Amino acid sequence: MARRWWAGLLVLGLMGCAGSTPTKQAAPRRTTTSAPSSTTSTTRPAPKLEWKACDAGECATLTVPEDYSKPNGATINLAVARASKAKDGERIGSLLVNPGGPGASGVDIAGYISSGLPRSVTDRFDVVGWDPRGTGASSPVDCGDHLDYLFDVDTAPDDPAELGALENAAHRFVDGCMAGSGELLRHISSVDTARDLDRLRAALGDEQLTYLGLSYGTYIGGLYATMFPGRVRALVLDGAVDPELPLADVAIQQAKGFGDGLDAFFTWCRTHTDCRFHHDGDPAAAYDALARRIDARPITSAGRVFGPTQLDVAVAAFLYSGADAYKQLADALRDLERGVIGPLVVSFDEYMGRKGETYDAEWPAFIAISCADGPNLALPEMEAAQQRAAVEAPRFGPGNIGLGFQCSYWPYPPTRTGPFTMAAPTAAPIVVVGTTGDPVTPLSWAQGLARQLGSARLVTVAGTAHTASLNGNGCLDGILVRYLVDLDPPKSGTTCG
């Protein structure tokens, strides 16, 4: 399996296969938030970008204020990559892309997105990605890189001792973030990123924004449209996050989505006798027995611990790809029954960015930005949410919530404290894409976001994977070409098989 990218808020998120990714840029140096309230900028105009050849195509650096309330104060340098250029004489502008997260690198993934888009789009637009502040090569959050302690505890605790261990691990992580990043943690919210996106648009010379946001990238896009409605040309938001939902509902509904994805795998395995996890037609019972066994006694092999948290994460990673990964998942579960953890460890490591004994900065950025965005629940609320999740989404719910206990200790107030309704009275209708069997961002979230965005047009795609825009669906590709190139949006309620 390839390395995944994230689908955010306080949830288990990874997005479809990212394939091979180019070498990261060296991290630009950082020199020495609140909810959106203004669509105007008090900062100096963004200078034009100076492009240089790099592994990602062409790379540049954009300097932005660390704190937009202090436009002449400290700055952050954002890494930017132009993965492909439009044909001479046919260029409309730039298509900015965000692959999700929070925490994923837009620089690393811009080439993959460009290669997955219809040629009729990439012939007309430069495809540009960037590393949002706090991620990748844009002043990445530093919370330490030895993070096994976060996942060796049970994020779905069964007793007070396991709950205490989970809380201690969460507190330790926050202490590491404060020691490594300190003041930067105040300025990495998605509100800050939306303002950065507007400066990047201006630096590219585009009067209005053309944008493709995947998964958590839909939150950035919707936030941008809410803050800068007059600067929207065309936005495609695929695999939507619904910010109007209460936080516990988000985590539980996503866990239900993973559960539905796992049920779809069981159905496939039950009806395919060559499935290595067939178990005489009852793979669901076999999985539950295996999960109970791992919960009671984690496997330790070659110094690695493989317990209930690693199992949840590793299995969820397979589910992102839907039916395409069913055979691999069946093989990995059969191996685990025999005590062989290798395939599932590989899945966990690729998802979490673990190499050797250290982790890259994506998971710390995911947590830190999620906590900066909010809303954040106090520990008693988190524990109550876990108890509810154990009833409504028993396979993934409690562990999904447990992965976000760090936000209960976060030292800075979040940008929002409750559900948030986006309002984007844009002249151009926004296109929201949802997939019927998306295991990560349920179709109901796309429906909810489309309602919030007023004139948005909802496109529903039949499928089992997370997001649809890069999967070669001819119907959706045609919609994207007509919308992005010709500004001809689909009718709301359009479906693609």
CB atoms within 10 A of CB 52: 10
Q: Which of 190, 215, 347, 408 is catalytic?
A: 215
* Number of residues that make up the chain: 497
Strand partners for 81 = 59, 129
Cα–Cα–Cα angle for 136, 443, 478, rounded to 5 degrees: 80
Query: Which token pair is 266?
Result: 């069981």
Q: Which residues of 249-268 are buried (b: 16+ CB within 10 A; e: fewer)?
A: ebbbbbbbbbbbbbebbbeb
Strand-strand pairing, 304-306 and 299-301 = antiparallel
Q: Spot the catalytic one: 139, 360, 466, 477.
A: 466
Active-site residue, from 142, 192, 438, 477:
438
Taking the alpha carbons of 459, 6, 10, 155 in that order, is the dihedral positive or negative?
positive
Residue 8 CB neighbours (<10 A): 28
- The yes-or-no answer on residue 69 being catalytic is no
Query: Does 466 qualify as catalytic in the annotation?
Result: yes
Q: Rounded distance, CA 260 to CA 255, Å?
A: 9
d(C-alpha 211, C-alpha 199), whole Å: 14
Active-site positions read 215, 438, 466
